[in-house]
A = this chain, B = another copy of it.
Amino acid sequence: MNVVLIGAGNLATRLSLALHAAEVRIVQVYSRTIAHAGKLAAQLGCSYTDKLEAINPGADLYIYSLKDEALPQVLRRVAPNGGLWVHTAGSVSMDVFKGYIPRYGVLYPLQTFSKERRVDFSEVPFFIEAATEEDTLLLQKIAGLLSGKVQKLSSEKRKIVHLAAVFACNFTNHMYVLADNILKENGLSFDLMLPLIGETAAKVKDMAPSDAQTGPAIRYDKNVMQRQLDMLGSDEQKEIYKIVSKNIHKEALRHE
């Protein structure tokens, strides 16, 4: 099994390093930024390029790990071949490959990746999809080398999972950013929040998020909320505070 990696971003980096550690052979890395391709290729012990026409045509698996908007154009600049082409995006349909090459699919690991941070893949859910049953089994096998949680999922359902993940991860992290800003502006350390953040995440393993909700917004106490609004420095902070509080209250009434 020879793999070509198209892309050298956060997900491409962590996924290829995990495959490499599982003794899957990555033979080439492409990135339009040659330094990024070179850096990752050095870790994988393989060749690299910034030219789409130089992509190795004889590999078994081509993993496209690119920005959503770049994928459709980039893949059409790679010469069709007999390998299995997959992308790793949550919100892009498998059909992006349709009509261009015979064998295609999706390999979507649901996790937040940063280049410099190791991830334990064994618990990462992989959502897979392929045009044929045979290639579905192949993707199941490959993802199964990394994770115990591999499942078939349609493009439509995968988009839902990705949308939920935007809230559960990207928006959650932005709440951490806002907390960090508030603390920094007042000479306090974000580290104070870590036990709270850990427990907030741990709670929803054992109870529904709506049951885990705490805080002043539940009762929508206008006095507390007005005082907290007055403490916020920017209009964006105030706007987010208002709408999220309003919605917490609304959900609390719904679950009463």
Residue positions of A touching B, CB distance < 8 A: 10, 67-69, 91, 110-114, 117, 119, 123-125, 149, 157, 159-161, 163-180, 182-183, 186, 188, 190, 192-217, 219, 221, 223-224, 227-228, 231-232, 236, 239-241, 243-244, 246-248, 250-251
Contact assessment for B68 and A223 in the assembled complex, using a CB-CB cutoff below 8 Å: yes
SS class of chain A's interface: helix, strand, loop or mixed?
helix
Given the known A-B contacts A114-B207, A171-B175, A219-B67, are A195 and B163 also in contact in the complex, defined by CB atoms under 8 Å? no
Contact assessment for A119 and B192 in the assembled complex, using a CB-CB cutoff below 8 Å: no
A212 contacts which of B173, B178, B244, B247 (Cβ < 8 Å)?
B173
Contact assessment for A247 and B240 in the assembled complex, using a CB-CB cutoff below 8 Å: yes
Which residues of chain B are near A219, meaning CB under 8 Å?
Answer: 67
Return the chain B residue nearest A209 by Cβ.
B176
A160 contacts which of B117, B183, B211, B213 (Cβ < 8 Å)?
B183
Contact assessment for B179 and A175 in the assembled complex, using a CB-CB cutoff below 8 Å: no
Return the chain B residue nearest A248 by Cβ.
B174
| Bound CA–CA A164/B161 (angstroms) | 29
Return the chain B residue nearest A185 by Cβ.
B160
Contact assessment for A172 and B170 in the assembled complex, using a CB-CB cutoff below 8 Å: no
What are 15 A-B pairs at a CB distance below 8 A?
A: A91-B224, A112-B215, A117-B203, A159-B231, A164-B179, A165-B179, A167-B182, A170-B215, A172-B200, A173-B204, A174-B244, A197-B201, A201-B201, A239-B243, A240-B244
Which residues of chain B are near A216, meaning CB under 8 Å?
Answer: 68, 91, 166, 170
